[in-house]
Amino acid sequence: MFALKSISWGGLILLFAVMTVAAANKSTDYPCDKIRVIIEKDKNLGFVNSKDIVQEVNQSNPNWSQVVGRNLKPNMIENHIKNNEYVKNVHVYIDQNRNLNVYIVPKAPIFRIHDKNNSSYYIAEDWDRMNINHEFSSRVIHVLGEVDGLLYPRTFKDSFILAELKSFSKYIEKNKNWNTAIDQIYIDASGKFELTMIFTDPSVQIGYIDSKLERKMEKVKNFFKLAPYHKSLDNYSRLNFEYNQQVIATKK
């Protein structure tokens, strides 16, 4: 009896597989009916939208709706869409309902950089450039100061600051509350970090991003937990957390 049941289940599985393959093959015997754009959870707040992707498909293959599915070239469409600076990855395929599916993974900006030439751009999660899109914006930390060599480091200082910013990015990725608490990072000529917080006036100096970062940030957190019980911080312009066992406050 067990053997008969196994054969029956095996036959059903095989039949289902055959029917699935047949349906998929049949869907490619006809032209596609429409484009269906699927965008993975949009971390970049709308830099990529369905309308733009449909336009990209039409530019890469204007006759897509007149071509039998099996003669379409998904790779050609994918390669064209990958040129979109806001797209991280793309997969194009035809489903059994004859939809031309375009699955988009958008880039996610992690910092907004302001260089000394007064130009501004985003750095994406893969540490490449994303230009500003004037129709959309993303709430990310602004970075300014010694940042002109971030994308193309030419000196030891450029490489050092880039490594520091990457280390800091990894820290706030693990400690996401800081990502919403920090409004701005200023990096001075020596590579030290000064943070502007959204909840207090004095800036927070943490110095170099090194092995002591976690300890310094924990000290910052504990300090502001106790701050409401002490004298108002409005009279201070900077709070320095670089050194052990002390916080150095600079008056305005």
- Shared-domain flag, residues 94 and 142: no
- Shared-domain flag, residues 61 and 121: no
Question: Which band of pLDDT confidence, cut at 50, 70 and 90, is reported for residue 242?
Answer: very high
Question: Which band of pLDDT confidence, cut at 50, 70 and 90, is reported for residue 13?
Answer: low
Per residue in 167-210, pLDDT tens?
Answer: 999 999 999 999 999 999 999 999 999 999 998 889 999 999 99
pTM flag (> 0.85): no
- Shared-domain flag, residues 66 and 27: yes
Distance CA 8, CA 86 (A): 50
- Shared-domain flag, residues 94 and 200: no
Q: Does pLDDT of 163 surpass 70?
A: yes
Share of the chain above pLDDT 90, in %: 47
Q: Does pLDDT of 42 surpass 70?
A: no
Q: What is the CATH number of the domain that holds 116?
A: 3.40.50.11690
Per residue in 90-136, pLDDT tens?
Answer: 999 888 888 889 999 999 899 999 998 888 999 998 999 999 887 77
Q: What pLDDT is stored for residue 134 in this prediction?
A: 78
- Shared-domain flag, residues 42 and 68: yes
Share of the chain above pLDDT 70, in %: 81
Mean pLDDT computed over every residue of the chain: 84
Sheet of strand 109-114, all strands in order from the earlier edge strand to the far edge: 129-131, 120-124, 109-114, 141-145, 182-187, 193-197, 203-207, 236-240, 248-251
Last-in-domain residue among 106, 134, 162? 106
Sheet of strand 34-39, all strands in order from the earlier edge strand to the far edge: 34-39, 99-106, 87-94
Q: What pLDDT is stored for residue 183 in this prediction?
A: 96
Question: Which band of pLDDT confidence, cut at 50, 70 and 90, is reported for residue 229?
Answer: low
Residue-number span of the structural domain to which 153 is assigned: 109-251
Distance CA 186, CA 6 (A): 68
Query: How many independent structural domains does the chain possess?
Result: 2
Question: Which band of pLDDT confidence, cut at 50, 70 and 90, is reported for residue 11?
Answer: low
Last-in-domain residue among 60, 78, 106? 106
- Shared-domain flag, residues 139 and 228: yes
Per residue in 58-88, pLDDT tens?
Answer: 888 787 766 665 677 888 889 999 999 999 9
